[in-house]
Structure 1
Amino acid sequence: MLVITRKKGESLLIGDNIEITIVKLDDGSVKLAIDAPKEMRILRKELYNEVKAENQKSIEFNLDVLKGIKK
Structure 2
Amino acid sequence: MLVLTRKTKESIKIGDDIEITVLSVSGDQVKIGIKAPKSVEIHRTEIYNEIQKENETASTTVTNLMEKLKNWNINS
TM-score computed with the length of structure 2 as normaliser: 0.77
After superposition, residues 1-71 of structure 1 pair within 5 angstroms as 1-69=1-69, 70=72, 71=74
Structure 2 residue matching 1:38: 3-state secondary structure: coil
Structure number with larger C-alpha Rg: 2
Q: What is the deviation of 1:39? A: 2.6
| Structure-1-length-normalised TM-score | 0.81
Identity over aligned pairs, percent: 41
- Distance (whole Å) between structure 2 residues aligned to residue 4 and residue 35 of structure 1: 18
Provide runs of 4+ in structure 1 moved above 3 Å.
none
RMSD: 1.5
Q: How far 1:56 sits from its partner (Å)? A: 0.5
Where does structure 2 lack aligned partners over 5 or more consecutive residues?
A: none
Q: Kindly provide the amino acid, as one letter, of the partner of residue 15 in structure 2.
A: G
- Residue by residue, what CA displacement relative to the aligned partner does 1:9-39 show, whole Å, maximum 9, x if unpaired? 1111112222111001122221101122233
Equivalent pairs counted in the alignment come to 71
Counterpart CA distance in 2 for 1:44 and 1:34 is: 12
